[in-house]
Amino acid sequence: MPACIHELFVEFIVSVYHRHHHTYMHAFGIGLTGLVVALGYLMKQKNHHISLPLQLLLPRRFGITDSSFYVCGPALKDIKGKSPSLKFERRKKNTRPGILVRQLHIEEQLLRTSSENWCIINDGTNDPTIVMGFSGKPAELLEIESVLHDQVPVIRRFTGGGTVIVDHQTIFVTFICNKETVPDLQPYPRPIMSWSSSLYSKVFGGIGDFHLRENDYVFGNHKFGGNAQSITKNKWIHHTSFLWDFDVRNMAYLKLPKLAPAYRSARGHLDFICRLKDYMPRSTFIDKTVEAAGTQFSLRSLELEAVVTCSETEFRPSTRFLTNEELAAAAAAVSEQQLGLP
Amino acid sequence: MALRMWASSTANALKISCASKPYLSLSRCFSTVLDGLKYAESHEWVKHEGSVATIGITDHAQDHLGEVVFVELPEPGGSVSKGKGFGAVESVKATSDVNSPISGEIVEVNSKLSEAPGLINSSPYEEGWMIKVKPSSSSELESLMGSKEYTKFCEEEDASH
């Protein structure tokens, strides 16, 4: 029986933010600090351990001008019997507006068209941006007047779940996996949520009474991480926005949701959420997340290949900005309803 | 149905899990499978009556998805292809594709689901139907699973996880 050799190759690339001010009506510069890490995933086979060769991760420009994305992907096909790899995507801040939408587009494209497994860690955006779930209704979830007045961008994403307001203090972690990737995991919401919480339990290791409460990551009964998923026939995505820190003023743009978890007990935003920074340094959180993922995923040989952008394929993502007109119309409809108008 | 929901809820509330694999679901296939319908491996059902086939998701699927809060359906007049997605359901935090077991033209869509998405949970085979289709190929229907085969499929799928 061969000895089990765990090979981890981790490459951290830190990009630098550049602030950009856009003169566009919805101007906001979103910076992304990307972190690309290649991890190894070693799946023990019964009475058989698999070792993987150590190979370099060679980032290549993704093909967007003012390059913001570095994708590391295997040129090699999966070898039968070998464990699937987990690829990390580097995100470097781009000065063009709509970069968060771009990230979500790429996540959606990877979910729909890639046969690989991915982990994407994004280190925040620039200006506050509201991100609603698949079926979110602006009039029910947002203080639209304030949102329009302050020109806060609003995105409708392709995954389910609730509404968050994110900024440079938010950390995003995304896992995109083939449904067979995690042994014994049924591709349904609750098992995936449970799997994710077991991974993050390794990150927090008892700190702050971390646990998954209903569908949120909490310390005690205070939420610091919101989750959302999308499940297709063969793959699933689970992404989390972690409240590293937040500006209390931003919470004023959000209404109390009708569909709230029971443990919220009608608490206001500020009584309900907490800051991750009060429990763990930012770099420690990212390092430990990478380390935890490394206990389940292994690095495969990686050579870069060109990754096709959304514009180069027939894939059309569903994530998009809501226009001012749409938001205003939603607010008007509610007003008419309240006045009893047809 | 109530007993199944209670059993599943109790398991979740008690956080029953294995030490090494806490994400294993212990709910087994208590779901209802109706005779006379055909079933796809992606857990959709088809009821073929005359020239129209009605499609929805199974009791097994709705049980595993949880409370459905939103349903996205196509417009009548469009087409569906076997194995391809035609809509989605949202349950709490997740959107899940719904795939068509057969190909054909959409002739009707269940408009009640926009106001009452929970019909998929409470009545997955009747009031929770999603689309009606004019099938383009009878052989596609024949290739689907019958009730016994689908029951076994669910049991094996749950047992393997």
Q: How confident is the model at residue A54 (pLDDT cuts 50, 70, 90)?
A: very low
Q: What three-state secondary structure class fits B110?
A: coil
The dihedral sign for the CA sequence A106, A111, A114, A119: positive
Yes or no, beta carbons of B97 and A231 under 8 Å apart:
yes
Partner-chain residue, chosen from B24, B85, B92, that has the shortest CB–CB distance to A184: B24
- Chain B positions touching A134 (Cβ under 8 A) are 70, 72, 88, 90, 95
Q: How many other C-beta atoms lie within 10 A of the C-beta of residue A66?
A: 11
Partner-chain residue, chosen from B83, B93, B158, that has the shortest CB–CB distance to A160: B93
The encoded tokens of residue A73 equal 């992907």
Bigger pLDDT: B17 vs A150: A150
The dihedral sign for the CA sequence A270, A272, A276, A280: positive
- Mean pLDDT (chain A, rounded): 73
Partner-chain residue, chosen from A158, A228, A233, that has the shortest CB–CB distance to B93: A228
Give the span between the Cα atoms of A211 and A203, in whole angstroms. 11
* ipTM of predicted complex: 0.83
pLDDT at A77: 28
Q: For A243-253, what is the mean pLDDT?
A: 89
Give the span between the Cα atoms of B89 and B67, in whole angstroms. 10
Interface check for A186 against chain B (CB to CB < 8 A): the answer is yes
Give the span between the Cα atoms of A333 and A342, in whole angstroms. 9
Give the span between the Cα atoms of A29 and A127, in whole angstroms. 6
Q: Which residues, other chains included, contact A66 with Cβ-Cβ below 8 Å and sequence gap of 6+?
A: A94, A95, A96
pLDDT at A14: 42
Q: Which residue of A has its CA nearest to B43?
A: A233
The encoded tokens of residue A286 equal 């990212």
In this predicted structure, which of A42-51, A142-151, B137-146 has the lowest mean pLDDT?
A: A42-51
Query: CA dihedral defined by A108, A110, A114, A116, rounded to 10 degrees?
Result: -130
Bigger pLDDT: A80 vs B68: B68
Quote the DSSP letter at residue A263.
G
Q: Is the pLDDT of residue B122 over 60?
A: yes
- Chain B positions touching A233 (Cβ under 8 A) are 42, 83, 85, 97, 99
Question: Do A171 and A124 meet the contact criterion of CB atoms below 8 Å apart?
Answer: yes
Question: Do B56 and B124 meet the contact criterion of CB atoms below 8 Å apart?
Answer: yes
Partner-chain residue, chosen from A159, A191, A259, that has the shortest CB–CB distance to B95: A159
Q: CA A148: distance to chain centroid?
A: 26
Q: How confident is the model at residue A99 (pLDDT cuts 50, 70, 90)?
A: confident
Q: What three-state secondary structure class fits A8?
A: coil
CA B21, B23, B25: angle at the middle one, nearest 5? 110
Q: Which residues, other chains included, contact A85 with Cβ-Cβ below 8 Å and sequence gap of 6+?
A: A40, A41, A74, A78, A116, A117, A297, A298, A299, A300, A302
Whether the model clears a pTM of 0.90, i.e. scores above it, the answer is no
Q: Which of B20, B63, B93 has the highest number of chain A CBs within 10 A, making it the mutation to test binding with A?
A: B93
Predicted confidence (pLDDT) per residue in A236-247, tens digit: 999 999 999 988
Q: Which residue of B has its CA nearest to A226?
A: B93
Q: For A178-192, what is the mean pLDDT?
A: 91
Backbone angles phi, psi at A315, to 5 degrees: -70, 130
* Gap from B138 CA to chain A (nearest CA, Å): 23
Q: How confident is the model at residue B95 (pLDDT cuts 50, 70, 90)?
A: very high
pLDDT at A31: 53
Interface check for A135 against chain B (CB to CB < 8 A): the answer is yes
Q: Which residues, other chains included, contact A180 with Cβ-Cβ below 8 Å and sequence gap of 6+?
A: none
Interface check for B21 against chain A (CB to CB < 8 A): the answer is yes
Q: Is the pLDDT of residue A151 over 80?
A: yes
Q: How confident is the model at residue A88 (pLDDT cuts 50, 70, 90)?
A: low
Q: Is the pLDDT of residue A61 over 90?
A: no
pLDDT at A49: 33
pLDDT at A156: 95
Yes or no, beta carbons of A186 and B90 under 8 Å apart:
no
pLDDT at A70: 28
Interface check for B74 against chain A (CB to CB < 8 A): the answer is no
Yes or no, beta carbons of A233 and B94 under 8 Å apart:
no
Predicted confidence (pLDDT) per residue in A265-278, tens digit: 888 888 899 999 99
The encoded tokens of residue A56 equal 């370099």
Give the span between the Cα atoms of B61 and B43, in whole angstroms. 6
Provide the residue count of chain B.
161
Tell me which residues of chain A, numbers 243 to 262, contact chain B at a CB-CB cutoff of 8 Å. 259
Yes or no, beta carbons of B83 and A233 under 8 Å apart:
yes
Q: What three-state secondary structure class fits A187?
A: coil
* Gap from A192 CA to chain B (nearest CA, Å): 7
Question: Do A239 and A159 meet the contact criterion of CB atoms below 8 Å apart?
Answer: yes
Yes or no, beta carbons of A232 and B97 under 8 Å apart:
yes
Bigger pLDDT: A124 vs B73: B73
Yes or no, beta carbons of B94 and A232 under 8 Å apart:
no
Give the span between the Cα atoms of A185 and A228, in whole angstroms. 17
pLDDT at A87: 64
End-to-end CA distance of chain B: 22
Q: Is B69 exposed, middle or buried (0-12, 13-18, 19+ CB in 10 A)?
A: middle
Q: Is the pLDDT of residue A48 over 90?
A: no
Query: CA dihedral defined by B146, B152, B153, B154, rounded to 10 degrees?
Result: 110
Yes or no, beta carbons of B88 and A259 under 8 Å apart:
no
Yes or no, beta carbons of A231 and B69 under 8 Å apart:
no
Bigger pLDDT: A198 vs A123: A198
pLDDT at A310: 45
Interface check for A185 against chain B (CB to CB < 8 A): the answer is yes
Q: Is the pLDDT of residue A298 over 90?
A: no
